[in-house]
Amino acid sequence: MDQTEDSALVEAVLSGDRDMYARLVNRYKRQMYNLAFRMTANSEVARDLAQETFVRAYANLHRYKLEKSFFNWLYTICINLTRNHLEKRHEILGENGDESATWEDANPSAEHRSPETQIIEQQNINGLEAALSALPEDLREAVVLRYIQELPFDTVANSMGVSLSAAKMRVYRGLEKMREVMTAQESFP
């Protein structure tokens, strides 16, 4: 992402050009929505959390330091909102059958693939999501940030407020735990 352009857009918004904020939203909405969805497994909650992220960011835009990464700043807001939500609701992925949504529910474009491909993909995705959902929140967050959101380890560590080695350990323990779950469920492809 172009940090210079982000800063220019933020300045435009702060000078009163509110519509320019739509460009920032469009630029990062997918990452925020996906992060919230992977942490909550609920498309409606994910939408609300991701939208709230952008609203909070707008309200506090004057606190954002232009020389820093806007993406990282948004990320911090989103992950904090998600943590708070999970703490409040005591949500654990997969346990709340009424609220949880599958990847297919949240991604209607999957319908365009062939039925065979969809079945195989869906089995793999379901197995992975079930294993992810079995993780404690701190390990899940570490795995989501590192391998689903593909953030570098130092950013994962910063986001989680832990040392680099602690972040690596959480990711490793998360992967190990997922491997155990998928092996037990015989869902390892």
Instruction: By CB under 8 A, tell whether 126 contacts other proteins.
Output: no
Under the criterion CB under 8 A, does residue 114 sit at the interface with other proteins?
Answer: no
**Region near other proteins per CB under 8 A, out of 71-79, 87-95, 155-163, 168-176:** 168-176
Helix, strand, coil shares of the chain, percent, nearest 5, are: 75, 0, 25
8 Å CB contact between 178 and 143: yes
What does the angle CA 21 – CA 76 – CA 160 come to, to the nearest 5 degrees?
165
Collect all residues with Cβ–Cβ distance below 8 Å to 53 and sequence separation of at least 6. Answer: 32, 36, 74, 77, 78, 81
The two tokens of residue 28 are 């990062």
- Compose the 14-33 pattern: x for residues touching other proteins by CB under 8 A, - for all others: xxxxxx-xxx-xx--xx--x
Does residue 86 belong to the site contacting other proteins (CB under 8 A)? no
92 lines the binding site for other proteins (CB under 8 A): no
Q: At what angle do helices 70-89 and 153-160 cross, to 10 degrees?
A: 50
- C-alpha to C-alpha distance for 168 and 134, rounded to whole angstroms: 19
Measured from the CB atom, the residue of 87 and 180 that comes closer to other proteins is 180
Residue of 1, 5, 120, 163 that binds other proteins (CB under 8 A): 5
Contact residues toward other proteins (CB under 8 A) are 2, 5, 11-12, 14-19, 21-23, 25-26, 29-30, 33-34, 37-38, 43, 47, 50-51, 54-55, 58-59, 61-62, 103, 106-110, 121, 124-125, 128, 132, 143, 147-148, 150, 168, 171-172, 175-176, 178-179, 182-183, 188-189
